[in-house]
């Protein structure tokens, strides 16, 4: 049962959830089947998940019965899913209170209703987020209050339908804009063309009716404009301004996604030959760091760490980058920290032309990850080239080639791209200074080769030899 749905689900439980689920199973409110807690205990504590051994641990009469065992596992799986749903429900007090208001309404418990309404409003007011879910919860609250008011019209002389409808508008417009932004993003990134209706009418209404005063609507509206009108950069700057001002009003995952739209805009502009957006992208990363938005479960992702370093080096922010490398290295997952620190410091030293420091760092490092192994070797090759250490470079080319051939984790495409790179590097370093024709032929072959990484570096070095301006 190693790959069973039950086991796969249980393996996602945190230590706290493991304990809570045990308490859940031991409550007769949720199940009266006393075998299920024993089954969970056996699965949780046994390393070898043999069905017969687990069956024996359940202390059931008779020999192993596969049909009954599968039924027990299915029942436990359903309870585990119910537990996760209940946990998610309990983690959203407004949803819980709104359901309670509905029950109190149905039972005509008017005095109870008033108290829960007041506490729910107070809770919503204190909520730091103003995302689509906030407006949805607020709409449900206002609808329940409206039902209560209509039922007691002689007493209250008040209805809440207008307020409920306003909250529905805010929720709908926010979610609709968000969906459309994601649809356009899927089209750009995944080449998926999703057809979502009514968007132009929505844009017209948003612009006419003053909805842009609501931060959630204004942000997704600005994101949408950057996607629909990429040449009008005012929408990008408006988006960044809105995010910086209102970022605290959204859950961490959502505000991170919003900033990703801004980052992707910068990347598209850079790819179109507008280098001024390197600075914009770098400043967005700095904001994400400063506000703690960039972290996922308290950790910094290795590619974000590397991207920040690469951008900073391009912008010659050497002092800031050196401090960043050392200060945030401990935020990386533990298994990446050593290689990330070594490689990124070496990359900094390379940019500063401190080539002896690069060699000192990289020549003895033991790489634990594939991409650090590739990047580290390539950085060392470039360092040898700058120092004109061609003998050491030839030796490294050969050891690099053997690494590529022997490594089973590398895709065949990546392998071919790097093997072509090494083949051209070897031909480059063997060129005599006066071999202009051979240099031209080599440059032409590089331009014709599709499966190649770092072709830009190769072309730059050959063009320098030939006195050609890129």
Q: What is the pLDDT of residues 197-251, one digit of tens each?
A: 667 788 888 888 889 999 999 999 999 999 999 999 999 999 999 999 999 999 9
Provide the pLDDT for residue 55: 87
Cα distance between residue 24 and residue 83, in whole Å:
7
Cα distance between residue 39 and residue 69, in whole Å:
10
Provide the pLDDT for residue 96: 95
**Could you report how far apart the first and last alpha carbons of the chain are, in Å?**
61
Q: How confident is the model at residue 154 (pLDDT cuts 50, 70, 90)?
A: very low
DSSP string, 169-204: HHHHHHHHHHHHHHHHHHHHHH-------SHHHHHH
Contacts of 24 (CB under 8 A, 6+ apart): 30, 79, 83, 86
Provide the pLDDT for residue 368: 80
Long-range contacts of 9-17 (CB under 8 A, 24+ apart): 9/77, 9/80, 9/81, 10/40, 10/43, 10/44, 10/80, 17/87
3-class DSSP state of 299: strand
Average pLDDT over residues 336-345: 93
Provide the pLDDT for residue 52: 84
Tally of CB atoms within 10 A around 70: 14
Provide the pLDDT for residue 190: 59
Provide the pLDDT for residue 59: 82
> Residues 181, 261: contact at Cβ < 8 Å?
yes
Least confident span in 168-182, 199-213, 277-291, 384-398: 199-213
Provide the pLDDT for residue 466: 83
Least confident span in 17-31, 67-81, 199-213: 199-213
Strand ranges (E), 292-397: none
Cα distance between residue 304 and residue 300, in whole Å:
7
Average pLDDT, the chain: 91
Least confident span in 63-67, 343-347, 440-444: 63-67
For the chain, the structural domain boundaries read 5-90, 93-170, 411-470
Cα distance between residue 141 and residue 328, in whole Å:
43
Portion of the chain with pLDDT greater than 90, in percent: 76
Cα distance between residue 344 and residue 93, in whole Å:
44
Q: How confident is the model at residue 44 (pLDDT cuts 50, 70, 90)?
A: confident
Assign 3-state DSSP to the chain and report helix, strand, coil percentages, each to 5: 75, 0, 25
């Amino acid at each position: 049962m190693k790959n069973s749905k039950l086991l796969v689900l249980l393996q996602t439980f945190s230590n706290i959830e493991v304990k809570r689920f045990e308490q859940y199973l031991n409550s007769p409110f949720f199940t009266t089947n006393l075998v299920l807690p024993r089954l969970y205990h056996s699965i949780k504590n046994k390393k070898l998940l043999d069905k017969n051994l687990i069956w024996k641990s359940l202390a059931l009469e008779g020999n192993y019965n596969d049909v009954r065992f599968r039924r027990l596992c299915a029942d436990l799986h359903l309870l585990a899913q119910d537990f996760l749903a209940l946990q998610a429900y309990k983690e959203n007090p407004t949803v819980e209170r709104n359901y309670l208001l509905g029950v109190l309404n149905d039972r005509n418990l008017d005095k109870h209703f008033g108290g829960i309404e007041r506490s729910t409003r107070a809770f919503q007011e204190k909520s730091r987020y103003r995302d689509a879910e906030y407006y949805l919860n607020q709409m449900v609250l206002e609808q329940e209050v409206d039902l209560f008011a209509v039922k007691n019209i002689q007493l209250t002389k008040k209805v809440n339908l207008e307020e409920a409808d306003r909250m529905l508008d805010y929720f709908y417009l926010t979610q609709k804009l968000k969906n459309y932004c994601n649809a356009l993003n899927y089209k750009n990134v995944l080449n998926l063309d999703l057809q979502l209706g009514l968007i132009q009418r929505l844009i017209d209404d948003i612009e006419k009716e003053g909805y842009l005063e609501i931060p959630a609507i204004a942000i997704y509206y600005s994101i949408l404009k950057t996607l629909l009108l990429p040449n009008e950069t005012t929408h990008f700057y408006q988006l960044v301004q809105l995010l910086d001002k209102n970022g605290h009003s959204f859950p961490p995952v959502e505000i991170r996604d919003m900033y990703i739209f801004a980052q992707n805009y910068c990347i598209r502009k850079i790819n179109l030959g507008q280098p001024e957006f390197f600075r914009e992208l770098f400043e967005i990363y700095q904001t994400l760091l400063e506000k703690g938005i960039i972290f996922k479960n308290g950790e910094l992702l290795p590619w974000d760490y590397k991207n920040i370093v690469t951008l900073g080096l391009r912008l010659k922010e050497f002092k800031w980058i050196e401090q960043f490398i050392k200060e945030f290295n401990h935020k990386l997952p533990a298994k990446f920290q050593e290689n990330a620190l070594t490689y990124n410091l070496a990359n900094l030293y390379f940019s500063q032309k401190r080539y002896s420091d690069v060699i000192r760092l990289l020549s003895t490092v033991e790489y634990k990850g594939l991409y650090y192994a590739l990047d580290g070797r390539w950085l060392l090759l470039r360092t040898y080239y700058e120092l004109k250490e061609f003998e050491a470079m030839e030796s490294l080319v050969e050891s690099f080639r053997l690494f590529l051939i022997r490594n089973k984790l590398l895709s065949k495409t990546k392998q071919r791209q790097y093997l072509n790179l090494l083949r051209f590097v070897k031909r480059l370093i063997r060129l005599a200074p006066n071999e202009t024709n051979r240099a031209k032929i080599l440059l032409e072959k590089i331009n014709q080769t599709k499966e190649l990484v770092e072709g830009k570096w190769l072309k730059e070095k050959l063009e320098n030899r030939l006195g050609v301006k890129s």
